[in-house]
Amino acid sequence: MRMVSKKKMNIVLGGSIFTALAGFLAPAQATVIYQSIPDLTTAYVNDYCSQCSPSDPYGGVGESIGQQFSLVSSATANYLSFTVDNTYHWPGSVTVSIFNDASGNILGSSVYGQTFTSFVSDVPTLNATDVVTVNLGAVPLAAGAYDLFLTSDPSSGLGIPVYSGGAGNGIYIATGSTFPPVAGLGYAYFGADAGISLSAPGPVPGASLLSFGFFILAGVWTKARGIVAR
C-alpha cells in the first residue's frame, strides 16, 4: 500500500502537563464504546493516504483506510473521534463509513455513512496530528464486528496516521477502490491501527482539551513568574 511520503517531527511534552492534556481527551463522564489505541495524542509510526489520486503531490493509488472493531454487547454510538495528519490536506471534508463485517475479509451491509465538513471539535496535538470529533447522531450497533473507513474526495485526499500499541486491526481497501466504500468490497490488514474512538452520550470527547490545556499552561507560567519575582 502507499504511504504518504514525507518527514514528520515528533515533539514530546514531558511531565504532568502532557498527562493532564491527554487525559481530558475522553472525559470520565463519557462512555467509550471502542478505542483503537490507548492515547489518540501519541506519535504515529506511519502515515497512509486515504483516497488520494495519482496526481497528488505525494502520490496516490486510490486506497481507502479504515479500522475494524468489535463489540461484545449492543451500544449506541453518538460521537466518533479520529486522528488526521494536520500537515496534509487538512482541514478538509471527511466521509465516515461503517459496515457490518462479513466473513472472508469482505464488507457487509452498510450501517452508517455521512460526509462532514464541520466538526464538533478539532484539537491539534504535539505530533503533527489533529484529534477530530464528529457527531454521528445515534447509531445503534449490535454485538459483532464492524469495518469503519475514513475517506475524502479523491480530488483532495486525507492523511491518516497509524499507530503501534493496539491490536493491529487497521484495514485498507486496495488500489482503485470506490469512493466512498460500498458493501461487497474486499479489504486487507496493514498491521497497525488507525486512531479512532467511539463514545456514547456524555460530554463531547476532546471538547475540554484546549480550555483545560490553556488553564494548566497559564498556571505554570504564572507560577514561573512568581518564582522569578522572588
Q: What is the pLDDT of residues 102-125, one digit of tens each?
A: 988 999 999 999 999 999 999 999
Residue 13, pLDDT score: 39
Q: Is 121 among the domain residues?
A: yes
Q: Is 3 among the domain residues?
A: no
Residue 187, pLDDT score: 93
List the strands of the sheet with 196-199, edge to edge.
32-35, 196-199, 75-85, 129-141, 121-124
Residue 21, pLDDT score: 42
Please give the average per-residue pLDDT across 166-184, as a whole number: 82
More confident residue, 73 or 222: 73
Q: Is 7 among the domain residues?
A: no
More confident residue, 57 or 228: 57
Percent of the chain residues topping a pLDDT of 90: 50
Q: Is 74 among the domain residues?
A: yes
Element (H, E) at 226: helix 209-229
Q: Is 152 among the domain residues?
A: yes
Q: What is the pTM of this model?
A: 0.76
Q: Is 2 among the domain residues?
A: no
Report the domain count for the chain. 1
* pLDDT, mean over the chain: 77
The least confident of 24-28, 118-122, 124-128 is 24-28
* Residue whose C-alpha cell reads 485526499 in the numeric block: 157
What is the extent of the structural domain holding 219?
Answer: 15-229
Round to whole Å and give the CA distance between 79 and 222. 35
Q: Is 4 among the domain residues?
A: no
